[in-house]
């Protein structure tokens, strides 16, 4: 018998390949085997996903620092973990788009805050765009997070750009999974869902502060100084985006595109 992955010769009673570590599978694929594999991958208490989720929640420095230091067999790969978080949030936004999650109360109260029909129409279009392209927006924001942590935490630890990328991928994914799960559990009650939606960004921010303190081994005083600097950088970024928006709007109007 030979391994189907690397063609290494195996004994008849071997369950795993000694060369590549691949599992020896002799049975045909069935729906039962697919279901069991999904359960094993994501819900087995000893699996990497479960351990990664819990450790990032309690001791994020163990996962992030371990991966950067080369300990990469114990926890979920950061890119795979990020992909899972995008899939989970994608499911939530899809359910919102299709009306399975009642978001009308929030949308109506948001629209009532605007005075003119044009403002309401623009707000509706922006919300629709965010729902449709939420994952794309998330991916585009990752480099900004990396830039911020590189600026604010470069003196705490000498991580390079790629290592800061790993820090942000892990922490964002964990924060996203936590808040998305809470939102999905809140759909049973509209008021709870609205409250959870308003608190989700605050929860993510708190988790980021807690985790960055752990990852970069900082005192509360040091992390608070960096939070203040973060808001300063965020303010400058918003001004830059605002100027770009005005320039883009002027360009569209000048060329009769709007």
Token output for 193 = 């869902």
List Cα–Cα distances, 197 to 49, 105, 200, 201, 205, in angstroms.
25, 12, 5, 8, 14
Beta bridge partners of 16: 23
Is a pLDDT exceeding 90 seen at residue 100? Answer: no
pTM for this prediction: 0.74
What's the mean pLDDT in 91-107? 70
pLDDT at position 6 is 82
Banded pLDDT at 206 (limits 50, 70, 90): very high
pLDDT at position 116 is 64
d(CA 123, CA 225): 35
* Closest-CA residue to 169 (of 129, 133, 142, 188): 142
């Amino acid at each position: 018998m030979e391994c189907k992955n690397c063609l290494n010769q195996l004994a008849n009673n071997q369950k795993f390949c000694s060369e590549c570590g691949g599992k020896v599978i002799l049975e045909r694929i069935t729906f039962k085997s697919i279901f069991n594999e999904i359960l094993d991958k994501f819900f087995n208490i000893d699996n990497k996903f479960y351990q990664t989720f819990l450790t990032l929640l309690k001791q994020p420095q163990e996962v992030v620092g371990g991966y950067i230091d080369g300990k990469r067999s114990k926890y979920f790969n950061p890119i795979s973990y990020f992909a899972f978080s995008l899939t989970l949030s994608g499911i939530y936004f899809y359910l919102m788009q299709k009306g399975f999650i009642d978001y009308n109360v929030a949308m109506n109260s948001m629209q009532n805050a605007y005075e003119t029909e044009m403002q309401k129409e623009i707000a509706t279009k922006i919300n629709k765009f965010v729902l449709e392209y939420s994952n794309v927006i998330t991916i585009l924001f990752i480099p900004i997070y990396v830039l911020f942590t590189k600026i604010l935490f470069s003196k705490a630890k000498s991580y390079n750009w790629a290592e800061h990328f790993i820090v942000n991928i892990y922490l964002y994914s964990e924060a996203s999974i936590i808040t998305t799960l809470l939102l999905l559990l809140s759909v049973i009650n509209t008021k709870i869902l609205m409250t959870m939606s308003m608190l989700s960004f605050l929860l993510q921010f708190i988790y980021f502060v807690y985790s960055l303190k752990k990852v970069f081994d900082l005192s509360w005083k040091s992390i608070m100084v960096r939070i203040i600097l973060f808001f300063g950088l965020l303010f400058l970024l918003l001004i830059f985006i605002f100027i770009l928006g005005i320039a883009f709007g002027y360009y569209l109007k000048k060329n009769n595109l709007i």
